[in-house]
Amino acid sequence: MDARAFLDRGAVRLDDVGLEYRFAKSVGVGGVDAAAVAAALPRARAAAGAFRALLETGEAPCMDEAVLWPRVTPPEQVAPVQAWAARARGADVVLSIGIGGSYLGNRVLRDALLGTTYNARPRAARGDWPELHFAGFHLDPAESRDLVDLVRAKAAAAGRPLRVVLLAISKSGTTTETLASTLGLLRAMQEVPGVKAELAALTAPGSVLSELVRAKQGEELPFPEGIGGRWSVLTPVGLVTAAVSGVDVGALLDGARAAQAAIRAADGDPGRDPALLYALLHHLHAGQGRAGAVFMPYSERLRSVSEWYVQLLAESLGKEKDRQGQVVHAGRTPIVAVGTTDMHAQTQLHQEGPHDKTVTTLDVADWGPATVADRVPDEAVAGKLAGKTFAQLNTLAREANEDALRGSGRPSDAWVLDRLDARGVGALLYTLMASVAYEGELMDVCAYDQPGVEAYKKIMKARL
């Protein structure tokens, strides 16, 4: 395998799903050149072999339980989710209660595919789907009160009974934030005049949440086996809220399967596997002291992808010990940024601060036809901006940022979707998860456990 041959192309593209990884500005910077990539190719092939074995067996050497997320959710697990969504469709409000992987992926699918203003639209403009709100991803008392006040106002304005479905998501059923928020919000909703509150849960059988749902005569959905929270966005955990808000779940999974097929067909060739090349380049940059990982979508709709990626990278690769038990204190530190907002906030640091980070951007090539709201009028006062669409300006800003970083010896790379649709998002999320799995192999750490999280939970529960 000739590293220079694929590096000279500067991009790896998955044509079937319209996803491209552009890496030209990440190579030849800070000691990561073609020679370094070529020297690391045997490790990349080994990482690909380990991922292929995981896909085939569902077994990770560092885990006692199955790891099944790479297989993509089968139809028999999707059917109960879609059936529940059909029954819940008549609700006015669905309140999804969860934290970490039981929240972040769900937020990605709502914001990216439905928009951050989804709940503000009239019901007809939402395709006759209910509002979808999130709770339990913090223990902020003011936010919980405000949420109840919002429902109270909606009930008063409706002039009829308001149907509110609380959907609690937790594998263990004992997650502090989820359980506390479910109990508190359920009681609060039951006390709001004009509200008919229902409870459902996606949890393991026999859990505390499971027992609570049965006691309240609610509906229980099974939590998928072999799925960790941060790997769950394309399983019933993430699909349940997508389905109840009108997202095309079938297209999401089709995109994930297409990405999986491309990764398998690449057979360890980074020139055809964008997830593997992304993992390899960032692993090499980390070896040069660049352990900071800025993930910077150029869209408010995609901000939540960055927030989701933060958990995926941090929990998976931030480990005290490697798989041989040696203390390594490994990991890269992910940083949420949004373009162009943070070009006016963080870029000064990225451009002139320590040489300790990489910058990954995320953009969409085709936002559809521009309207008067996202095109600069042809007026003299607009100067060089006249006639430009916001999409054009956004891309110009991203590319200028990347060129400026390269000019000062700082690496950047970009993920670009042809369009922002369910199939492309499914492929993107699967590819990013595969990249973290690969990077865990390159670092020789277990990407699927989270002992550091368990440490604080034990202390907190002891003090309750």
pLDDT score at 457: 78
Q: How many domains does the chain have?
A: 2
- Assess whether 131 and 263 both reside in one domain: no
**H helix runs in 191-273, sequence order:** 208-215, 236-243, 249-266
Residues 209 and 306 in one domain: no
Please tell me whether residues 93 and 56 are part of one structural domain: no
81 and 52 together in one domain: no
* Same-domain check for residues 371 and 268: yes
Per-residue pLDDT, 325: 95
pLDDT digits (tens, 9 = 90+) for 184-211: 999 999 999 999 999 999 999 999 999 9
CATH number at residue 349: 3.40.50.10490
In this structure, are 307 and 445 located in the same domain? yes
So what's the pLDDT on residue 1?
64
Block residue for tokens 């609690």? 168
Catalytic residue list: 315, 344, 457
* Burial label, 40 (beta-carbon count in 10 A; 0-12, 13-18, 19+): buried
DSSP helix/strand/coil, 19: strand
The HSE-up count of residue 229 (CA atoms within 13 Å, CB side) is 22
121 belongs to a structural domain: yes
245 inside domain: no
Shared domain check, 433 and 386: yes
Structural domain that includes position 282: 3-60+251-453
Number of H helices, E strands in the chain: 15, 13
Whether 22 is covered by a domain: the verdict is: yes
Last residue of a domain, one of 185, 207, 223: 223
Is 228 inside any structural domain?
no
Q: Give the pLDDT confidence score for residue 464 in this predicted structure.
A: 83
**Whole-angstrom Cα distance, residue 143 to residue 148?**
9
Is residue 459 assigned to a domain? Answer: no
State pLDDT tens for residues 138-171: 999 999 999 999 999 999 999 999 999 999 999 9
Q: Do residue 329 and residue 417 come from a single domain?
A: yes
42, HSE (Cβ side, Cα atoms, 13 Å): 1
Whether residue 213 is found in the same domain as residue 98: yes
Distance from C-alpha of 65 to C-alpha of 63, rounded to nearest angstrom: 5
Q: To 5 degrees, how large is the angle CA 92–CA 97–CA 100? A: 140
Please indicate, yes or no, if residue 463 is contained in any of the structural domains.
no
H/E element, 80: helix 75-88
Tens place of pLDDT per residue across the chain (464 aa) = 677 788 999 999 999 999 999 999 999 998 999 999 999 999 999 999 999 999 999 999 999 999 999 999 999 999 999 999 999 999 999 999 999 999 999 999 999 999 999 999 999 999 999 999 999 999 999 999 999 999 999 999 999 999 999 999 999 999 999 999 999 999 999 999 999 999 999 999 999 999 999 999 999 999 999 999 999 999 999 999 999 999 999 999 999 999 999 999 999 999 999 999 999 999 999 999 999 999 999 999 999 999 999 999 999 999 999 999 999 999 999 999 999 999 999 999 999 999 999 999 999 999 999 999 999 999 999 999 999 999 999 999 999 999 999 999 999 999 999 999 999 999 999 999 999 999 999 999 999 999 988 778 788 778 88
Interatomic CA distance for residues 95 and 53, integer angstroms: 38
Task: Report the C-alpha gap between 354 and 292 in whole angstroms.
Answer: 10
Q: Are residues 270 and 173 in the same domain?
A: no
Q: Which residues pair with 163 in a beta bridge?
A: 196
Instruction: Clarify whether residues 81 and 46 are in a common domain.
Output: no
Give the alpha-carbon dihedral of 313, 314, 316, 321, to 10 degrees.
130
Kindly report whether the peptide bond that precedes residue 340 is cis, defined as omega within 30 degrees of 0. yes
Structure tokens belonging to residue 376: 């600069």
Task: Report DSSP letters for 323-336, one per residue.
Answer: TTS-EEEE--EEEE
C-alpha to C-alpha distance for 105 and 241, rounded to whole angstroms: 10
pLDDT > 70: percent of the chain? 100
Q: Are 307 and 117 in contact (CB under 8 A)?
A: no
Domain shared by 169 and 309, yes or no:
no
48 inside domain: yes
Establish if 68 belongs to a structural domain: no
